Structure 1
Amino acid sequence: MSALTLTTPSAERPRQTRWLLRLHRPALCAWGALAVVLAALLLALAGPLVNAAADGWRQYRACGMNPRCSYDQAAIMRYKDYYNYATIALNLLPFVVAAWAGAALTGRELESGTARLAWTQAASPARWLTVRLAVPALGLVVTTGLLSRLHHLAWAAGVHRVDSAKEWYDRYTFHANGPTLAALTLAGLAAGALAGLLVRRTLPALVVGVLVTGGLRAMTELALPHLWPAVTRTGSVDRFVPVDGLEVDQGMVTRGGAHVPAPSCDSTAGCDAAYKDFTGRYDVFHPASHFWPLQLTTSALLLAVTALLVTACFLTLRRQTGALRPPKPARTAA
């Protein structure tokens, strides 16, 4: 009589997930603690902190030009500082994830040989990598999605109430307020994992992952204003109207209707001569109604880049380990 001993893919996947969570428990606990602290801070910003700051600004406006009038400056500064701390922290999350993914998720396991040990325990390299990308990705999407929603509530609570509130197009506020935060975090995860697979050493992979994520962020900043059709507004030459939105371009309108950059001048006579042939000014910008179109198109771009990075991860692993088929089941005689 013979029996077939094997580990099925459906049974192997939960075991790989449990092993991953156990192996990276310190990072999981640290991430959870950070998320709880940020969530508590954002809830405070949306409630008592913004209310106190709004009262302080009302007092300040009521004072007018009276130098002896007092107002709650501490509440105003406290709200401003804590908002900046929370917003910067959210913008740094993709870099933290990239550093962890490069150093611990793939780089350290390849450097120490833990990954090769896992591949000998009926887990193919492809399944090993799939679990290491899919499980953190799920947790990151849930966490960053919740935090960005809380940040948007905190930001909206201060609009029209706190004079120092950030505009919607402030780049740190923009990315903390919507799904681009989750998309860039996933890109950081994929970039870090790829760095670990390529470098196969902990610290160098950490550095490479962070640098690649920084490059993606810079690329996003350059592309963002051009991912959705902007609004063009024209006006007279001698009247400058501030743009209330994300500015893309500005300049002068010629007599033929062409849009050209504004000329430089350093004197009244020189400016009169330089501007005499223009009929007006133009401004190209994104109004507040473009917030969600810009968020969604930017997120789509980042997710496309993430897909390319994930594909590169599997191709790199295939090149390093050969075919990504699971090992043949062992047959034992009884």
Structure 2
Amino acid sequence: MTHAPFLARGGSLPRLGLAWVTWRQHRFALYGLLGMLACFAALMVAGGLQARSTYEQLGLAQCTSYSSGRCQQLADDLFTSYGTKWPFLFLLLLPAAFGAFLGGPLIARELETGTYRFAWTQGAGRTRWLLTKLTLIAVVLVAVTAGYGALYSWYNAPLDHVLPTGFGDYLNFELEGIVFPVQTLLAFAAGVFTGLLIRRTMVAVGTVFLGSFGLLMATVFKLRQDYMAPLTTTDKPGLRDWVVGTGFADPAGHLLSDSQSRSLYMKYVAQLPSGDGPTSVHTAPYRDWLQARHYAIVTSYHPAGRFWPFQLIEAGWMGLLTLLLAVATVWLVRRRIG
């Protein structure tokens, strides 16, 4: 009975007692997740050091532009040196993993095994028991994910300098701002709430993992680009702008519909010399053909300056949802469970 040694004479639990109990109950899950993070961190440190060495050896610091000529080839060589970057796509699974394996069992295990009858009748009380656990684990998650985001920014800095990408690049957007810790807190809060409702640890873990990852994918590929209305331009967007779509405008400046764009393209294909077909068509000739007929290619994009507004919008609605889930969880534990 791990709670008993911390009962004070008056029946209350010392302030540090619940913190120690929280650590004891969740240490193995934390060990496993932190061990996995340590492996990824070691890969990032090794890859970052290698990339910086390659950057110096290639003399990329002497280049003023990396879009053409020898400097473009050197930039491509640097990109090749980032051969270990692909595993970090799995970092996108971390919020779901933290939510499932730390949040899912937090209450579900107590309810499933019946130990809540003991844990919640001690001097600390169920509300203090829950708030202490939520707060301590949340602090650890924020510290770990924020530190990991800073490490990724350091690791990616040489490549980002020579081959910048639009801020909508999902790996960079997740890890180089404030979104990553908030995503993790949301998954954790959802895990605790789901475990409270389902009361089965393994079912809660699976449900939270799939649900959290599904929400992330929906956010990345559907919701995020609509946080603000995109701008349009007939010029080439900046390297760090986020291109979200392209279209065509007729000589009068009217945007073409999808069917009109396809019809225009078929006209272009029809006038190609015999033996040529769509598979041999390159973008540049088609652009020349359009410009000769006074059509314009219109690009929809979010300028690079929207990176932090987008970060704040996403962190805002996720943070609000996290708070609502936490309040609902505390209310249900206080009023409905027992």
- Range into which the TM-score falls when normalised by the shorter chain: 0.7 to 0.9
Q: Give the number of the structure whose residues are more often helix, by fraction.
A: 2
Shift of residue 281, structure 1, vs aligned partner: 3.5
Q: CA, structure 1 residues 218+80, in 2 after alignment: closer, same or farther (shift >3 Å)?
A: same
User: What's 2:230 paired with?
Assistant: 230
- Superposed CA offset, 1:191-225 (max 9, x none): 11111101111110001111221232134222212
The C-alpha deviation readout for 1:211-266, integer Å capped at 9, x for no partner, is: 2212321342222122245332135xxxxx47743223332335775545342133
RMSD, matched Cα: 3.6
TM-score by length of 2: 0.75
**Cα separation, 2, equivalents of 1:64 and 1:108:** 56
1:140–1:315 CA distance, 2 compared to 1 (3 A): same
TM-score, normalising length: structure 1: 0.75
What does residue 178 of structure 1 align with?
177
Residue 93 (structure 1) aligns with: 94
State the 1:295 CA deviation: 1.9
Aligned in 2, Cα 1:308/1:254: closer, same or farther, shift over 3 Å? farther
**1:174 partner amino acid:** F
Q: Please say if 1:250 is aligned against 2:250.
A: no
For 1:55 and 1:37, locate their aligned partners in 2 and report how far apart those are by CA, in whole Å: 27
Asked whether the equivalents of residues 102 and 202 of structure 1 are also in contact (C-alpha less than 8 Å), the reply is no
Deviations 1:107-164 (A, max 9, x none): 2222112222111112322222212211110001011101101111211222244x6x
- The amino acid across from 1:6 in the alignment is G
State the distance in 2 between where 1:316 and 1:81 align.
48
| Mapped partners of 1:30, 1:90: distance in 2 | 15
Mean Cα deviation higher: 258-267 or 117-126: 258-267
Residue type of the alignment partner of 1:230: P
Partner residue in 2 for 1:196: 195
Equivalent residue letter for 1:14: L
Q: In the alignment, is residue 131 of structure 1 matched against residue 132 of structure 2?
A: yes
As a proportion of its length, which structure holds more strand? 1
> How many equivalent pairs are there?
299
TM-aligned CA distance change 1:50 to 1:310, over 3 Å = same
Verify the 8 A CA contact 1:50 1:158 in the aligned structure 2. Answer: no
Residue 284 of structure 1: which of 275, 297, 300 is its match?
A: 300
Of residues 298-307 and 223-232 in structure 1, the stretch that sits farther from structure 2 once superposed is 223-232
Once structures 1 and 2 are overlaid, which stretch shifts more, 21-30 or 258-267? 258-267
Q: Among the aligned pairs, what percent are the same residue?
A: 28
In the alignment, what sits opposite 2:10?
Answer: 6
Larger displacement relative to structure 2 (305-314 or 262-271): 262-271
Equivalence for 1:117: 118
Match of 1:328 in 2: none
Within 1, Cα distance between the matches of 2:35 and 2:202? Answer: 24
Secondary structure of 2:234 counterpart? strand
Equivalent pair of 2:166/2:304 in contact (CA under 8 Å):
no
For 1:63 and 1:304, locate their aligned partners in 2 and report how far apart those are by CA, in whole Å: 46
CA distance in 1, matches of 2:237, 2:212: 34
Instruction: Evaluate the alpha carbon distance shift between residue 102 and residue 137 of structure 1 in structure 2; reply closer, same or farther with a 3 A threshold.
Output: closer
> In structure 2, what is the Cα distance between the partners aligned to 1:211 and 1:64?
41
CA contact (8 A) 2:11 2:122 kept: no
Q: Distance in 1 between matches of 2:159 and 2:292?
A: 44
**Match 2:309 to one of 275, 293, 302:** 293
Gaps of 5+ in 1: 66-71, 236-240, 323-334
| Alignment-derived partner of residue 154 in structure 1 | 155
Q: Which runs of no fewer than 5 residues in structure 2 stay unpaired?
A: 1-7, 61-68, 272-285
Contact residue 98 and residue 187 of structure 2 kept, 8 A: yes
Check conservation: 1:246, 1:287, Cα contact below 8 A: yes
Question: SS of the residue aligned with 2:233?
Answer: strand
